[in-house]
A and B are shown apart, each in its own frame.
Chain A
Amino acid sequence: MKRWLEPLLNAWEGVRTHKLRSSLTILGIVIGVAAVIALMSIGKGVQTQILSQIESMGSNVITISPGAVTERGVVGGGGSASTLTLEDAEAIAEQVPYVAAVAPYSSSNQQLIVGGENLNARVIGVTPEYQDANNLYTTAGIFISQYDYKRGTKVAVIGSNVADTLFSGVDPIGQQLRMGNNIVRVIGVLESKGRSMFGSTDDALMIPLTTLQQTITQSRTASGGHVVSSIAVVVSDDEQMNYVVTETTSLLRSRHELSTGEADDFNVQSMEELVSTITEVSGTLTIFLGAIAAISLLVGGIGVMNIMLVSVVERTREIGIRKALGARERDIWGQFLTESALLSFTGGLIGLAVGWGASKLISGVEIMGTITTVVSSDIVILALAVSVGIGLLFGFLPARRASRLNPIEALRYE
């Protein structure tokens, strides 16, 4: 028999002899490992999901949003000010280098009515550049054109959910749609992007920004600029993201006549920054979830130690016999360590299967969109290594106790 195989078989014999006791011990590890795997896969899933949502919005995009308004020392929430204008967007397009497109937009919630169906949806006033900045594709018809934007035509591109709700069974292209007090004509339907924590375009309706300003909101700044709610800037060269952020910031500061020392009345955020923030946050979340699960693994490990201590006492005579037959301390030590490692490794394997199954069940449940849990190989390796490690760690004390037994006393033990 192979040298390394024999101790394993012996340990297996020991595990098998006490089926119920071994199963209960293994169960502790199973629960711990399953919890670690399931929770970490959720954490990973959420992270991947958010990142892919960001990816779908375009990773080379800088988003400029209005800052907090400060009135008589009271600071309002971010985005509460109406500081960004269409004119700002035009200035960025003209003056900042490495800018491929600038897409200012405004939005407002409106009741949409078609025949007997109605729906409250987000109406976004956009420029043609909005399509590229957000990686939008139409499944039918076309997107808003430069002509529509210049003229302020009453046309709309609708999200897939809006199409399904208002035009079930009918081709929406060319149909009329009542939006508040206005009628618009549908010229395109967007491809579905799935749910997203950033608000999905599936549930939105897009019209030319100029149309929005003419029909729904007419707000202007004190200097007469047309207020927009956000500006998306598409950068032509990924390497120049930071440069564009700096240039845009200084351009907007001078346009908004902010003196040195005064805080920005807008926020410039690159997707890169957002990605790194979210990676950090969700990484922390994953570790946190893992840590909670690790506590149950720890409890399982203490269970292993408990059983191994009982096992050592119960098998005192066996240890005495083995020592009389010539077993050295390290033989006995190895025997008990192998047994506890085998116990917890078995638990780890089963726990891996259970945790995997659980994460597959969770996969598809909708939390902030559909989570696709990810059981990555590093989680698997980590869980198995940790379960063996736990066996060795918590088997250490019992094994040492066993190996140090006096053979004469051990043989006399009843």
Chain B
Amino acid sequence: MIRLQDIAKVYLLGKRELEVLRGVNLHIKQGEMIAIMGPSGSGKTTMLNLIGCLDIPSSGSYYLEDREVSRLSSGELAQVRAQKIGFIFQTYNLLPQLSALANVELGMRYAGGVDSGRAIEALNRVGLSDRANHKPSELSGGEQQRVAIARALVKDPPLILADEPTGNLDSHTGEEIMSILTELHREQNNTLVMITHEADIAHHCQRVIHIKDGQIEGEEEL
């Protein structure tokens, strides 16, 4: 599903080069649920951005479903994101002016077309069908993240990426979100890659990748 080969990412900070990723090799199988852990500045978010086709590596190759996507143009990357990838963010990133339902529909807009029926169904599956017409400001953090999960899953993408999905939530709500994610992952059988620095959260996954200073330090199977 995902193959990273010698991936390096260098940012230019003024005249200084900043090596964020230094030769990352990673293989993720279809249907896996993986956690990436590491301290701040270890490069885990950069790695997730690369996997999510929001950015391209400075060197190395990235194969998504056996297609090399590390050399695509920004338009082609957008197409890949639209068709293949669903994002879940720490800060939910819902559009404040849209209702929960409209936010979920937004997940389909660039992926071939809006289907309100499917959007309602997706909200139903995260247990929020009675909140469909509420604006994000009228929802709790946990509810907003559930809307975001529905938005990511509504187009049924093969790959779901979550950047600290429970980072802004209390541990109880975080557990709730994780159980929803785990359950949906089991049902839909997509590949799920998430960043977290909470070990409890990481334990929901099948495999944990530890990253430090831009390199994979080790991994554990659970």
Q: Which residues of A contact B (CB under 8 A)?
A: 1, 6, 13-14, 17, 317-318, 320-331, 407-408, 411
Contact = CB atoms under 8 A, between A and B. Distances in A.
B97 A17 contact: yes
A324 B106 CA distance: 11
A322 B97 contact: no
Contacts of A14: 97
B93 A411 contact: yes
Contact of B83 (A320, A321, A326): A326
Given A13-B97, A328-B78, A329-B78, 20 more contacts: A13-B98, A17-B97, A317-B93, A320-B93, A321-B93, A321-B106, A322-B110, A323-B78, A324-B87, A324-B93, A325-B107, A326-B110, A327-B78, A327-B82, A327-B109, A327-B110, A328-B74, A328-B82, A408-B49, A408-B55
B126 interface: no
B114 A328 contact: no
Contacts of B83: 326
23 contacts: A14-B97, A17-B97, A318-B95, A321-B95, A321-B106, A322-B110, A324-B93, A325-B82, A325-B106, A325-B107, A326-B81, A326-B110, A327-B78, A327-B82, A327-B109, A328-B74, A328-B82, A328-B110, A329-B75, A329-B78, A407-B54, A408-B54, A411-B89
A324 B89 CA distance: 10
Given A1-B114, A6-B114, A325 B109 contact: yes
B58 interface: no
Contacts of B209: none
Contact of B106 (A320, A322, A411): A322
B54 A325 contact: no
Contacts, number: 63
The list of the 5 closest CB pairs from A to B, nearest first, reads: A326-B82, A326-B110, A328-B78, A326-B81, A17-B97
B79 interface: yes
B18 to A, nearest CB: 15
A407 B110 CA distance: 15
Nearest to B82: A326
Contacts of A324: 52, 54, 81, 87, 93
Contact of B75 (A1, A321, A328, A408): A328
Interface in B141-167: 151
Contacts of B79: 326, 328
Nearest to B106: A325
B28 interface: no
Given A324-B52, A326-B78, A408-B49, A331 B110 contact: yes
Contacts of A326: 78-79, 81-83, 85, 110-111
Contacts of A411: 54, 89, 93
Contacts of B49: 408
Contacts of B89: 411
A322 B81 CA distance: 10
A407 B49 CA distance: 10
A408 B87 CA distance: 12
Interface string B58-99: 000000000000000011001101110101010001010110
B152 to A, nearest CB: 9
Given A317-B93, A322-B106, A329 B54 contact: no
A330 B151 CA distance: 22
A325 B110 contact: yes
A328 B107 CA distance: 14
A311 B9 CA distance: 32
A329 B111 CA distance: 14
A258 to B, nearest CB: 80
B74 A329 contact: yes
Interface in B96-135: 97-98, 106-107, 109-111, 114
